[in-house]
Amino acid sequence: MAFDNNGSHLTAGPSMEHNHSSSEISGFTDFNEVYRPVHGYLSSLVCIFGIIFNSCNIYILTRKNMKNSATNILLMWIAVFDLITEAVYVPFAIHFHIVTDTDVGYGHERPWVYYALLSLHTMFIAHTASMFMTVALATFRCIYIQHHTKAQTLCSEQRANLTTAIVSIVSVILCIPNFISTTVVDQPNADNNATSPWIGDTEMFKNSKFLQVSTFLVIGGIVKTGACVILLAFTVALLISLKQVRAGTNQRDSKLGTNNLRI
């Protein structure tokens, strides 16, 4: 902030804005320095618990008396995709956040860099599939509530399996821009006297504005924002439907109570 000559007027000055943004950056830097050494341990622990619990979910949902439900089929595949994401990330977290470091110039062995690239693609596909399977689950539940008589046909086990197949294929297709945008490249080490492999942009990505924009739109727009917006919309619709069902039930109970009093 800055005052005018008579000290009565308060305006926003560029120096104050610069100091404010610098303090925010400094805060994030401080947090990164504190959190970075423990990230590998915490993320690995979370993923190990996730692997255990998702394995239990898969075991329960595939039991003979549980797998005859479209909802349970969708829940099972959500657990499968989450399990894949977590199982792939554990070796990545241990090697790159505990044993070594994610700095570009660290000097990683090439096989581990290829594993990092493969794990990033695999996690992206599995996480995308998990998000859209959650959207599909919300869709099925809305249909169950709003069109209960048609739900047995619209939300059958066959349609749940078909939905899983479609989501899996679409998730792979959506990740194609990411596939062709990243590769393993040789980059300078910290001392700049040698090079070591690490993940970088492909020449096609660097030279193609269309690929850059499409990658941003697919990852930021469709996969992240799109799935969240759709899920939010179905969640609101589900809550409205539940409220309508409850209101209808209360109204019927009220009529029954009135009729009983008359009798």
Q: What is the CATH number of the domain that holds 207?
A: 1.20.1070.10
pLDDT of 36 reads 82
Count Cβ neighbours within 10 Å for each residue of 246-262 and write b for 16 or more, e otherwise.
Answer: eeeeeeeeeeeeeeeee
Within-domain flag for 196:
yes
The β-bridge partners of 238 are none
Q: How many domains, in total, are found in the chain?
A: 1
Within-domain flag for 42:
yes
Average pLDDT score over residue span 230-249: 76
Within-domain flag for 255:
no
Question: Would you place residue 77 in the very low, low, confident or very high pLDDT band (cuts 50, 70, 90)?
Answer: very high
Within-domain flag for 86:
yes
Average pLDDT over all residues of the chain: 80
pLDDT of 206 reads 85
Within-domain flag for 236:
yes
pLDDT of 133 reads 93
138: containing domain: 26-250
Q: Are strands 2-3 and 195-201 parallel, antiparallel or unpaired?
A: unpaired
Write the pLDDT tens digit of every residue in 14-55: 454 455 555 556 667 777 778 888 888 999 999 999 999 999
pLDDT of 7 reads 47
Stronger pLDDT, 172 or 226, i.e. the higher one: 172
pLDDT of 2 reads 44
Within-domain flag for 224:
yes
Residue 83 scores a pLDDT above 50: yes
Residue 148 scores a pLDDT above 50: yes
Instruction: Name the 3-class secondary structure at 3.
Output: strand
Within-domain flag for 16:
no
Question: Would you place residue 192 in the very low, low, confident or very high pLDDT band (cuts 50, 70, 90)?
Answer: low
Within-domain flag for 118:
yes
pLDDT of 104 reads 65
Task: Say which DSSP state 193 is in.
Answer: S
